[in-house]
Amino acid sequence: MITSVKRFITFFSFFAFSLTLLAQGTVTTRKYRLSDFPDKVTKVVLTGNSVLDGALRQEVLNYWTLSAFEFCTVQEFEALKSQDLYYFLMAAESRFKGEETPGIVFLTLVKGDKGTGQGVSGMPEIISLPVTSAQGSSGRDLVYMGALVQAVQDFTRAAMESEAVAYTGSDWFNGRYTREGKMQQIYMAREDLAASVGQADLDKYLDEDWHLVDADEADAAYQNGTYNTLVSYVVAPFTPDKGSYSYQLLFKAQSHELFYIHRHKIKEPRAPEGFLAEDLKRLSQKR
């Protein structure tokens, strides 16, 4: 489970924004906070980054069905954030404690709140999922943006129906792997493996349906909707700081559902970014 940590969030853009969010954790809501979600408009905040905004806009149009939505600018968000008439979906940079600069961009869903005051630290956060390094795009984030939009919506729908889901947080997605992981083949990009993983780890944990492939092949399997296949994706800062985290994800190619998410604090050389031996062990135990 992705546990609660304090992190500062700012809007992801090529421009410098002064506003920050002190988030209280990846998921800080309960079922009652979401009871009005279908009746509210979700404002999708476009930050000025044309590439990221374009991907987010298109995937919201493709996937978002849980509530009415409208696109807005950062300036409009500033004017509306203290109104509880809206929820806001945004791509935002996050700086964890110990990081000198933001390390990761998250796709974040928050609720407008009258008590917001200065900044947006008082806004209830529904869920945040990692998108890409805050230091630049690898291009793979554009491939998986739709799956992340869908994952935010999937979690929100489930949290509306179950108090336990909101308490479980992002670990809720891992239940899909627990139920179906043994039936799926895995296409894991070689670049997603941590440098600390050796051949002995691969021999111990990988089975005949677990394939190490180039990132392009993994992405193609996702884009082609390959049957019965999970594909890997890792989000971490390009240049990690003391407090940086690495997030490991698996998406189901056919349905574009998030099936696995786990994170660890980056500590060289034992725990660099990417899927660690511990991830491989955890995944192999469900196969």
Give the C-alpha separation, 176 to 203, whole Å.
Answer: 25
User: In this predicted structure, what is the pLDDT of residue 128?
Assistant: 92
Type of residue found at 191 = E
SS3 173: helix
CB 64 within 8 A of CB 153: yes
Residue range(s) defining the domain that contains residue 54: 7-165
Give the C-alpha separation, 239 to 36, whole Å.
Answer: 40
- Residue 1 inside a domain? The answer is no
181 & 245 share domain = yes
Per-residue pLDDT tens digits of the chain, which is 287 residues long: 444 445 666 554 433 333 333 333 344 446 777 889 999 999 999 988 899 999 999 999 999 999 999 999 999 999 999 888 999 999 988 889 999 999 999 999 999 987 665 555 568 889 999 999 999 999 999 999 999 999 999 999 999 999 888 878 889 999 999 999 999 999 999 999 999 999 999 999 999 999 999 999 999 999 999 999 999 999 999 999 999 999 999 999 999 999 999 999 999 999 999 999 999 999 999 99
- Residue 119 inside a domain? The answer is yes
User: In this predicted structure, what is the pLDDT of residue 180?
Assistant: 95
Give the C-alpha separation, 57 to 145, whole Å.
Answer: 10
145 & 21 share domain = yes
Task: Point out the domain boundary residue: 165, 193, 219.
Answer: 165
Supply the pTM of this predicted model.
Answer: 0.89
User: In this predicted structure, what is the pLDDT of residue 168?
Assistant: 84
Count of domains for the chain: 2
User: In this predicted structure, what is the pLDDT of residue 19?
Assistant: 34
145 & 182 share domain = no
- Residue 128 inside a domain? The answer is yes
CB 266 within 8 A of CB 128: no
- Residue 2 inside a domain? The answer is no
Q: Residue ranges of the alpha helices (H) in the chain?
A: 50-63, 74-80, 140-161, 163-168, 174-180, 199-205, 215-223, 277-284
CB 208 within 8 A of CB 185: no
Spell out the residues 6+ positions from residue 11 whose beta carbon is closer than 8 angstroms to its own: 17, 19, 45, 47, 74, 90, 91, 92, 93
Give the C-alpha separation, 174 to 181, whole Å.
Answer: 9
Task: Point out the domain boundary residue: 130, 147, 165.
Answer: 165
Task: Point out the domain boundary residue: 165, 194, 215.
Answer: 165
158 & 34 share domain = yes
User: In this predicted structure, what is the pLDDT of residue 148?
Assistant: 98
